[in-house]
């Protein structure tokens, strides 16, 4: 944080310096200095002013956001909540927050000790580090109140009130209050695991500027209270399954595909293909990772999330994907 603010102040200093230089060259007596110098210094001033503007916006967005107070909340931690939280977390969070192997790659397995540098792994390491957190009570969440943890999941701020780099881009703002609390209950119930690697965000000036400019996507601000649709084999509930199953995070809010962006290549619309399948074939595909007729899913398509779903959840997902979006 301090480093990026110092860089911002330095850039602002350069804007002033080049602005002054422009003024001086334009007033120079020799004509060629006036024209060439004025143009060059003027251009530099403009470029630097642009960098200062975007960087300033980034610093304001990330370090000084309009952060809401964490709700006053105590999660009861009933056995039902823990069971539900276990289902959800092992379906979705574990892909990123599971243990890492010796090379720092995620195993998708327990414990929830984190340590995966997703920025470096996914080819946007030029923004700095975004390392998944240790979600067990052995990590920094031990120092979070239930309300602060709820706010992190719903609105994407850490305890200090800084904007998180990656989490707000995931669809968890749309998890219901009950499911968010269930996840908190489960995480609190885990055995504490120590993790020595540094976790969390360490964004550089470029990363902060890009985040501020919304180049990674616009985070969902999240509302104070979210209720899930009634559980059942319906398109409405299937859409909710596609939220915590993360399908919507990659395939777009309506699971109709997304175009290429600065962050990721294009993701196809799975609906036409799924509509060709019977429910049985869909179950088979999502549980084995093998598409009928065209071989296994590539690694870019994490079918493992769906493979861990209950029959009812998968059936709801099928209804949703074969209904009108």
Residues forming the site for ligand HEC (CB under 6 A): 89, 92-93, 95-97, 118, 130, 132-133, 135, 141, 149, 152-153, 158-159, 164-167, 170, 172, 183, 200-201, 242, 245-247, 249-251, 267-268, 270, 273-274, 298, 300-302, 305-306, 317
Q: What's the closest the beta carbon of residue 69 comes to ligand HEC, in angstroms?
A: 15
The residue (of 268 and 325) whose beta carbon lies closer to ligand HEC is: 268
Q: Which residues of 215-244 are buried (b: 16+ CB within 10 A; e: fewer)?
A: bbeebbebeeebebeeeebbbebbbbbbbb
Query: What tokens were used for 245?
Result: 């199953």
Q: What's the closest the beta carbon of residue 92 comes to ligand HEC, in angstroms?
A: 5
Find, among 291, 272, 220, 221, the residue nearest to 249 by Cα.
Answer: 220
Query: What tokens were used for 295?
Result: 């071989």
Q: What's the closest the beta carbon of residue 26 comes to ligand HEC, in angstroms?
A: 45
Between CA 248 and CA 171 the distance in angstroms is 7
The residue (of 54 and 164) whose beta carbon lies closer to ligand HEC is: 164
The residue (of 11 and 309) whose beta carbon lies closer to ligand HEC is: 309
CA atoms within 13 A on the CB side of 227: 2
Q: What's the closest the beta carbon of residue 45 comes to ligand HEC, in angstroms?
A: 34
The residue (of 18 and 151) whose beta carbon lies closer to ligand HEC is: 151
Residue carrying structure tokens 């944080």: 1
The residue (of 274 and 315) whose beta carbon lies closer to ligand HEC is: 274
Between CA 233 and CA 288 the distance in angstroms is 22
Q: What's the closest the beta carbon of residue 51 comes to ligand HEC, in angstroms?
A: 23
Between CA 181 and CA 216 the distance in angstroms is 27
Q: What's the closest the beta carbon of residue 8 comes to ligand HEC, in angstroms?
A: 20
**Contact of 114 with 131, CB cutoff 8 Å:** yes
The residue (of 46 and 118) whose beta carbon lies closer to ligand HEC is: 118
Between CA 234 and CA 93 the distance in angstroms is 24
């Amino acid at each position: 944080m301090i480093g990026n603010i110092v860089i911002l102040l330095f850039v602002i200093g350069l804007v002033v310096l080049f602005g002054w230089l422009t003024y001086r060259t334009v007033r120079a007596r020799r004509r060629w200095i006036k024209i060439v110098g004025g143009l060059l210094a003027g251009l530099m001033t403009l470029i630097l002013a642009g960098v200062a503007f975007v960087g300033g916006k980034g610093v304001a967005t990330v370090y000084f956001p309009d952060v809401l107070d964490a709700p006053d909340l105590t999660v009861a931690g009933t056995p039902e909540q823990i069971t539900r939280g276990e289902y959800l977390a092992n379906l979705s969070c574990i892909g990123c927050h599971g243990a890492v192997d010796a090379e720092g790659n995620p195993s998708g397995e327990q414990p929830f000790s984190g340590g995966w540098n997703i920025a470096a792994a996914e080819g946007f390491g030029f923004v700095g580090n975004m390392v998944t957190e240790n979600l067990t009570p052995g990590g920094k969440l031990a120092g979070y109140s239930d309300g602060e943890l709820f706010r992190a999941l719903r609105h994407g701020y850490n305890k200090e009130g800084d904007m998180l780099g990656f989490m707000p881009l995931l669809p968890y703002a749309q998890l219901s209050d009950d499911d968010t609390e269930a996840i908190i209950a489960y995480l609190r119930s885990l055995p504490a695991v120590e993790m020595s690697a540094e976790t969390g965000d360490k964004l550089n000036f470029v990363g902060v500027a890009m985040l501020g400019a919304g180049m990674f996507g616009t985070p969902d601000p999240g509302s104070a209270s979210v209720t899930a649709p009634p559980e059942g084999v319906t398109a409405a509930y299937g859409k909710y399954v596609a939220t915590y199953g993360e399908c919507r995070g990659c395939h777009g809010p309506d699971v109709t595909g997304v175009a290429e962006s600065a962050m990721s290549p294009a993701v196809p619309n799975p609906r036409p293909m799924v509509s060709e399948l019977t429910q049985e074939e869909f179950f088979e595909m999502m549980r084995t990772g093998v598409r009928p007729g065209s071989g296994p899913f590539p690694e870019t398509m994490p079918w493992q999330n769906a493979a861990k779903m209950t029959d009812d959840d998968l059936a709801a997902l099928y209804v949703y994907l074969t209904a009108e979006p």
